[in-house]
Chains A and B, each alone.
Chain A
């Protein structure tokens, strides 16, 4: 296919979901990626689909809708990516008052947030330290295997007439009179009046190719993986500092624990947040902090062996909101990028929102807070 109704750049979870939504809306879609499917941040994170960590506001509205769309996507594509409404539990180590206040705000925004006391908490998580006596249960929190999800979603796109070309690096965005007409890649050129930039952490580069700009930068994160163990942890369990970290702009290192067991028996412990560019080096101190926090929540993990650690670069925007919508300077160039540490969770919701905008359907929510315009017009 040299011509498409829409070109999606990026075969991560955000690009894949977007390609499926556009295909289902009747467009002939071409997906391009310089690497393989899920070779970017989608293959270097975890699969949390969370509502528990979000303050009431546009991102939470998007997250709630997106969470339901994950299950719709599963019904559409097939049960092939380990989607599970596992539920999350947030606990506070010291003072649980802020946690309870946060939960009550969330409840008013239609989040299920159930206060659990000492006895129930330890029934839900028998190995949780006895020092913690209360928590909030978030039954909507879910998880998936994001690499499999991206692959199966793109497979469905192919079956429905779309095309996926991997190993094709986009090198320029072609425009005529400020309107997109196609892209140039290492594998040839393709034309289309619509180009969706779903290149995550690298979205700024694509914007620049079109003569526009987007301030998306990397925020590095480490995850620990343990050797397989019997089922010790039943939900996603977070320290409440996690919520504070997620929303922070502090460039310094932050770590706060999210502990969860996987189907394969390994336990994932995430995640640190640092803004130090694309610096891939291992940082032993971060691994120590993650381990110390996880073992203080679950002392039984002390004897479990570390299997490996890996890292990825979350795509983040200065205001920590994703960028979803048409470029203010180049018409026909759309962005769905900058989802930071929530790109898996927010992928189908973002796809839905951008497809409604592209096809001229009234969006299910006000999309202005996500508009790229906020970084492109009226800023010095």
Chain B
């Protein structure tokens, strides 16, 4: 049996492809519904949701293939919290609707996606400041509009659909700020030539934005926020919500637990290393989608197909060229640290400030993110450094006029557990003789 973990574009494609090739598939996802991050939707009215999704028909087709194939079993509300491989067989420990189960599989396809990358600035922990992903998720899966007057900022193509989606649902977008300059698009011309459908997608969002009279301000970003307004390149902008995102961070917990080789991508993002079949360094363990490198839903779907044994290497190459181009067009500006002051919180779970981290370096001799964490508790809280880990490493390295070591970046992406489990459920596993 093949276990596919994650039911986003990559996992759905992998599950459908594998089942159509005659394999038995178990599709496990922690959300209540299929779709992952991108195709998140409300429980009942997926059909009324069209306006929130650009490639709705693609999603619908995949959902249909997955839902109608008798070889696919689905486990929703099911979180793989731990995994092992012994004697060539994978054991997944899954908490489904609060109860732990064991799943045995010969092959595992990880399609666990990514989450938004946050970068701190003064005021980023105030209520009303969030990531574009969070704003979009509220809308797509709960039908909740996060605010009336919204600033959307950061970098990358993803901020456009978020602004468009919020505007479509009745929010006033008081500012849409892209930190990078449009001239950088020249860096990805070949990506567009190879992927003309991406031009159509970009135009689709541009048209929507124009309809709502939203213009993109380039080269600008949020300096700080206070109650009721944001400061953007020195100017005050009144608003009640600020959504700022800086690209994505792949979720590598399970890959790390199973011992798969990780690697550092060009822009410092840690990803799972895979071969041309999407197989990781652990035989039988495959990875597809954002966990192998941020590339968007099209590339994720292609990778899902290949991971399940299907074809598409040329299409993958084309989409990868586009994805790499995006990395060049939308780097995170290197000056983000200049906006911070000593009181700025860097780790929000443990309320550790920039001043705390700097004194751990100056006074206690912290030399890297790990020691700074041991001395300040940055990254020891609820999110376990998912939000701040990379930022702490970069702050410490900058203070020491060094670069973050690849080994530290990869170490920082490892998590000993891949999700929550209660102590009661964990202990009860002894009786269940797992």
Chain A interface (Cβ within 8 Å of chain B)?
36-39, 43, 147-148, 151-152, 154-155, 164, 166-167, 224, 226-228, 264, 266, 269, 282, 284-285, 287-289, 291-296, 301-310
Contact = CB atoms under 8 A, between A and B. Distances in A.
B426 A306 contact: yes
Nearest to A167: B367
Interface of B: 82, 84, 93, 257, 350, 360, 363-368, 370-371, 374-375, 377, 380-382, 384, 415-417, 420-424, 426-430, 434
Given A164-B365, A284-B93, A289-B430, A305 B422 contact: yes
A228 B382 CA distance: 7
A295 B429 CA distance: 13
Contacts of B426: 287-288, 291-292, 306
Contacts of A148: 364, 374-375
Contacts of A289: 427, 430
Given A37-B367, A292-B427, 10 more contacts: A43-B371, A148-B374, A148-B375, A151-B366, A166-B365, A282-B82, A282-B257, A285-B430, A292-B426, A295-B424
A307 B417 CA distance: 8
28 contacts: A37-B366, A38-B371, A148-B374, A152-B364, A154-B365, A155-B363, A164-B365, A227-B420, A264-B381, A269-B423, A282-B416, A284-B82, A284-B429, A285-B434, A288-B427, A289-B427, A291-B423, A291-B426, A292-B426, A293-B427, A294-B423, A294-B427, A295-B424, A303-B423, A304-B422, A305-B422, A308-B417, A310-B416
Contacts of B416: 282, 308-310
Secondary structure of the B side of the interface? loop
Contacts of B429: 284, 288
Contacts of A296: 427
B423 A295 contact: yes
A151 B360 CA distance: 9
A36 B82 contact: no
Nearest to B371: A36
Given A37-B371, A39-B370, A264-B350, A306 B421 contact: yes
A37 B371 CA distance: 8
B348 to A, nearest CB: 13
A307 B384 CA distance: 8
A152 B367 CA distance: 15
B371 A284 contact: no
A227 B350 CA distance: 12
Nearest to B364: A151
Given A36-B367, A151-B365, A155-B364, A302 B424 contact: yes
B375 to A, nearest CB: 6
Contact of A147 (B82, B375, B420): B375
A80 to B, nearest CB: 9
A43 B381 contact: no
A308 B384 contact: yes
Contact of A151 (B84, B375, B421): B375
A369 to B, nearest CB: 33
B424 to A, nearest CB: 3
Contacts of B384: 307-308
B365 A155 contact: yes
A310 to B, nearest CB: 7
A302 B427 CA distance: 9
Give me the 6 closest cross-chain CB pairs, A-B, nearest first. Answer: A302-B424, A292-B427, A151-B364, A291-B427, A291-B426, A147-B374
Contacts of A269: 423
Nearest to A294: B423
Contact of A302 (B84, B380, B422): B422
A167 B364 CA distance: 15
Contacts of A227: 382, 420
A293 B257 CA distance: 24
Nearest to B372: A36
Contacts of A164: 365
Given A152-B364, A288-B429, A310-B416, A305 B421 contact: yes
B386 to A, nearest CB: 12
A145 to B, nearest CB: 9
A269 B416 CA distance: 16
Contacts of A284: 82, 84, 93, 429, 434
B423 A226 contact: yes
